[in-house]
Amino acid sequence: MMDSSVKIINEWDIVAARQLGRNVAKELGFGTVDQARITTAISELARNIYLYAGQGEITIEKIENEAKKGIIIISRDAGPGISDLRKVMEDGFSTSGGLGAGLPGVKRLMDEFSIESDPRKGTLIQSVKWLR
Amino acid sequence: MDFRDAMLDNYKEILKTYISDQTEQALYLSEKFSRKLLECKVSPEEMISLHKTSVMELEPDLPESLLLSLDILLEVMMAYGLAYREHQSLRTIQRELINEIEVAASMQQTLLGTKIPSLSFLDIGAISVPAKQMSGDYYHFVSHENGAISVAIADIIGKGIPAALCMSMIKYSMDSMPDDSQAPGDVLERLNRVVEQNVDPTMFITMFSGLYYPENHTFHYSSAGHEPGFFYNGEKGTFEELKAKGLLLGVDKKAKYNEYERKVEVGDAILLMSDGVTECRTEDGFLEVDTLIGYIEKYIELGAQDIADKVYKELEYLQDFQLRDDFTLIILKRMA
């Protein structure tokens, strides 16, 4: 099993995270449209770290269960956390400021999405896309 | 994927036609194709990928640079794709909200329902139409044990859901009013206290409260800043404003409401309304009182309910069928 991470500190690290995600997605056999979706999701998560947490890490892994293969993006930071998860998962909340797709966008681009956030510990987001 | 293959064939056909001879026909077909894409919820990035595949199959010798440019186009369209998906989900939410409001509106109709008393000496008609789905107007009739008839009409300043919620409160205060406090001034004083205590200070209610005594055919009334009604003198055929002074409900908890009295003869009528009637707007500005009276006069010989319905129809027509405010009109006509 392959496992690799990119530390997100400045904006260029977003590009590195995308590159890593694209390589893994390509190796798995995702088509160009899905590759674009996966990298857009990675951008969004990495940009959230860069903008709101200051620093953190994006980990990309291949995953597999009995029936299918896929890619998982894990976004981890020790930032201020999100106090109102319901609010950030609402459509129109983050996009209204023109900041991008927001977390609902990531959720739509991927197949699975989970978020844990604690104001003291930061935020952990995991999102999976399965290969069809 | 059958669906994608079918779309691909369809699209390739359109492209081929257009590349060979640039007809309007092919352009029209692509317009139809784009409708189909939306119908099938195909996102922009998928469409670009479809385009790239089609072009590569149709023209295998295209320069690499042109194909690469399509990768950039696909990436650029991602944000549009996300906006498109967000739009779809917001539309679903909007539909849910509309349904919810419809349920609330029909519930309001049930909650605020009042029975128009059927009496030999007094013919009563009423119509109430909300401007939006939920009404901020309210009217209420009570037949008391001693034979007297109470009538109330209220208007929340403001429209829509907040007004409707507020109205429900008025309705329950009215229902819990003891039978011995029928005097219109008392009714308003009580309600004023309820409103003052329970409603947001920015929300005001106007209300007209009346009481008809059948033994001596007098109409007693008080008003809390409400639109004045009209008194129709059947013998002379004249209309006169039912003037009454009083502060809006909810402004001052110590407000007092004077009671006025009017003798009602056979053929006389009392018309009560909300400001949606008098402030009905037309192309030429507000409705003139004379115009309104003209309509009422035109139908005054009819039954009370018919007068209300016909006057509403006239005003609806006058406003191009667009009500700007909730509309309520009540007519009491002495028959015997």
- What residues in B contact A100, CB-CB < 8 Å? 79
Please answer yes or no on whether A92 and B86 come within 8 Å at the CB atom: yes
- The verdict on residue B106 lying in a domain is no
Q: Does residue B104 belong to any structural domain of this protein?
A: no
Reading the block at residue A87, the tokens are: 């609010």
Mutate to test the interface with B, among A32, A44, A93, A132 (most CBs of B within 10 A): A32
Residue A96: pLDDT above 50? no
Q: What pLDDT, on a 0 to 100 scale, did the predictor assign at position B19?
A: 93
What mean pLDDT do residues A17-30 have? Answer: 96
CB B123 within 8 Å of CB B303: yes
Query: In terms of domains, do B19 and B149 share one?
Result: no
The reply to whether B64 and B121 lie within a common domain is no
- Considering the domain boundaries, does residue B244 fall inside one? yes
Query: Which sequence spans correspond to the domains of chain A?
Result: 3-130
Nearest CB among A33, A40, A95 relative to B86 is that of A95
Average pLDDT, chain B: 88
What is the pLDDT at residue B226? 92
| Chain B nearest CA to A34, separation (Å) | 9
Q: How far apart are CA B106 and CA B135, in angstroms?
A: 11
Same domain, B79 and B141: no
Cβ–Cβ gap B45/A105 under 8 Å: no
| Residue A117, beta-bridge partner list | A123
Closest residue of chain B to A101, computed from CA coordinates: B82
Q: Which residues of B touch A37 (CB under 8 A)?
A: 45, 78
Residue B108 lies in a domain: no
Q: Which residue of A has its CA nearest to B68?
A: A32
Shared domain for B79 and B173, answered yes or no, is no
Is the domain of B183 the same as that of B286? Answer: yes
Please report, for residues A25, A60, A69, A75, the alpha-carbon distance to residue A65 in angstroms, rounded to integers and kept in the order given: 17, 16, 7, 21
- B152 and B282 co-located in one domain: yes
Asked, for residue B189, whether it belongs to a domain, the answer is: yes
Give the separation between CA B142 and CA B124, rounded to whole angstroms: 12
For B9-32, the pLDDT digits (tens) are 999 999 999 999 999 999 999 999
How does pLDDT run across B121-153, given as a tens digit for each residue?
A: 999 999 988 887 777 888 999 888 888 999 999
CATH (domain of B46): 1.10.1240.30
Nearest CB to A36: which of B78, B83, B85?
B78
B146, part of any domain: yes
* Interval A97-111 mean pLDDT: 79
Closest by Cβ to B49, choosing from A33, A95, A100 = A33
Contacts of A33 in chain B (CB under 8 A): 45-46, 49, 74
Residues across chain A: 132
Same domain, yes or no: B249 and B138: yes
Contact list in A for residue B74 (CB cut-off 8 A) is 32-33, 36
Chain A contact probe: residue of B46, B56, B78 with most A CBs at under 10 A: B78
* pLDDT value for B1: 57
Instruction: Give the pLDDT of residue B161.
Output: 78
The Cα of B44 is separated from the nearest Cα of chain A by a number of Å equal to 10
When pLDDT is cut at 50, 70 and 90, the band that residue B227 belongs to is confident
> How many separate domains does chain B show?
2
Inter-chain residue contact B90 with A92, CB threshold 8 Å: yes
Q: Looking at the structure, tell me whether residues B28 and B177 fall in a common domain.
A: no
Give per-residue pLDDT as tens, B32-82.
999 999 999 899 999 999 999 999 999 999 999 999 999 999 999 998 998
- Shared-domain flag, residues B60 and B156: no
More confident residue, B1 or B93: B93
Q: What is the pLDDT of residue A72?
A: 97
Residues B87 and B121 in one domain: no
CA distance linking residue B305 with residue B329, whole number of Å: 10
Does B258 have pLDDT greater than 90? yes
C-alpha to C-alpha distance for B70 and B47, rounded to whole angstroms: 11
Q: Pick the range with the lowest mean pLDDT from A32-46, B109-123, B221-235, B255-269.
A: B109-123
- The CATH number that applies at residue B326 is 3.60.40.10
Q: Do B49 and A31 touch (CB under 8 A)?
A: yes
Q: Would you tell me how many other CB atoms lie within 10 Å of the CB of residue A85?
A: 14
Architecture category of domain A3-130 in CATH: 2-Layer Sandwich (3.30)
Q: Are residues B132 and B246 in the same domain?
A: yes
pLDDT at site A44: 92
Question: Which residue range is the domain that position B14 belongs to?
Answer: 2-92
Residues B209 and B302 in one domain: yes
Which two tokens mark A82? Answer: 């999100």
The pTM of this model reads 0.68
